[in-house]
Amino acid sequence: MAQMTTLGQFIIEKQADHPYAKGELSRLLRDIGIAAKVVNREVNKAGLMDLLGQAGSTNIQGEIQQKLDIYANEQFISALKSGGECCIVASEENEEIVMLDTDVSQDAKYIVAIDPLDGSSNIDVNVSVGTIFSIYRRQSTEGRATLQDVLQRGVNQVAAGYVIYGTSTMLVYTTGKGVNGFTLDPSIGEFCLSHPQMQIPKTGHIYSINEGYYVHFPQGVKSYIKYCQVEDDATNRPYSSRYVGSMIADLHRNMIKGGIFIYPITAATPDGKLRLVYECNPMSFIIEQAGGRATDGKTRIMELDVHSLHQRTPIFIGSEEMVSKAEEFMAEAEAEQVSVDLVG
């Protein structure tokens, strides 16, 4: 039987890659892995428990919270609090930052931003959902960490990862030295290395976007969609349209097969829908580490200034050549608009 490496073994082995590491990041990643297994257990039997459906509350985004949203949020915060390596949690489900102010945690050097259960509106219809996490080192050196320690640009991330609760449950993460994927083996309750050094194909033939909003898309996005739909054997077009409605499911598929995911601005979401801190920055770190590209149609996601906890951004993310092509259409449309404005 091939040598099996568990997530715990891998984290320890890779700790040597970071000379400054004293084990805190390793323990933090372990804590996240433990919470993911607990959440996985409930996600997989939500239909049998009173965990399906809506919780009768809304989150800061005004989105209806699912019972599993709240459960997952509580599990990750609890695991991070008891692990003692994290001083602040920034969560999609909490309006404000959550201070982990136990005697140990308040002096911890890491910040975790998390979307505990992304795509949760799909839970009741048995579609893959996931957890997204992003880890920063606190910048402040005096007193307790603050919101400013959270509002760091994506380029400062120390680690990022996602858990996809799908046909199998996988944890995929990076610490800046490539991307590795681990599949949960329920028979032993361990995440086992199954996808070492993941690389997203430089191009692909899948595009993911909610075309229901087509009339509200910027012209550059409309032009790119039409480009994807044109018959052209030389460039393997028309592409296939695949849109799950769960970002992690779309991005994980594109990571394996190649493709582009776009959530642009629309009339209803003039700043985009997806959140920069705990969705776009971590997924961009992972995709870039796998050789892909992630921008807002113009600017690298991880270089965007972070002004607020729940800040939104448009996102074009996936295979490098496909994202670059989409950006070309965005630039052409912008140039045309400028010339129209000048002519009046």
Residues that bind ligand P6P (CB under 6 A): 118-119, 121, 210, 245-247, 273-274
Could you tell me whether strands 86-91 and 110-118 are parallel, antiparallel, or unpaired per DSSP bridges? Answer: parallel
Please give the DSSP secondary-structure letter assigned to residue 6: B
Name the minimum Å distance from CB 121 to ligand P6P: 6
Quick one: 15 or 246, whose CB is closer to ligand P6P?
246
Quick one: 61 or 219, whose CB is closer to ligand P6P?
61
Quick one: 91 or 246, whose CB is closer to ligand P6P?
246
Quick one: 105 or 319, whose CB is closer to ligand P6P?
319
First to last CA, the chain: 71
Quick one: 93 or 118, whose CB is closer to ligand P6P?
118
Name the minimum Å distance from CB 19 to ligand P6P: 37
- CA of residue 64 relative to chain centroid, distance: 20
Closest-CA residue to 155 (of 301, 314, 313, 324): 301
Name the minimum Å distance from CB 132 to ligand P6P: 9
Name the minimum Å distance from CB 167 to ligand P6P: 18
Quick one: 196 or 270, whose CB is closer to ligand P6P?
270
Count Cβ atoms below 10 Å from residue 91 Cβ, excluding itself: 25
Q: Is 36 helix (H, G, I), strand (E, B) or coil?
A: helix
- CA of residue 139 relative to chain centroid, distance: 22
Name the minimum Å distance from CB 287 to ligand P6P: 14
> What φ, ψ does residue 241 adopt, rounded to 5°?
-95, 120
How many residues make up the chain in this entry? 344
Name the minimum Å distance from CB 122 to ligand P6P: 8
Q: Is 292 helix (H, G, I), strand (E, B) or coil?
A: coil
Name the minimum Å distance from CB 110 to ligand P6P: 25
Q: Walk across the sheet containing 260-263 and list its strands.
A: 240-241, 206-208, 260-263, 315-318, 293-295
d(CA 148, CA 88): 11
Quick one: 228 or 283, whose CB is closer to ligand P6P?
283
Name the minimum Å distance from CB 119 to ligand P6P: 4
> What φ, ψ does residue 231 adopt, rounded to 5°?
-70, 120
Closest-CA residue to 88 (of 136, 155, 24, 37): 136
In terms of Cβ atoms closer than 10 Å to its own Cβ (0-12, 13-18, 19+), residue 213 is middle
Q: Is 71 helix (H, G, I), strand (E, B) or coil?
A: helix
Quick one: 66 or 175, whose CB is closer to ligand P6P?
66
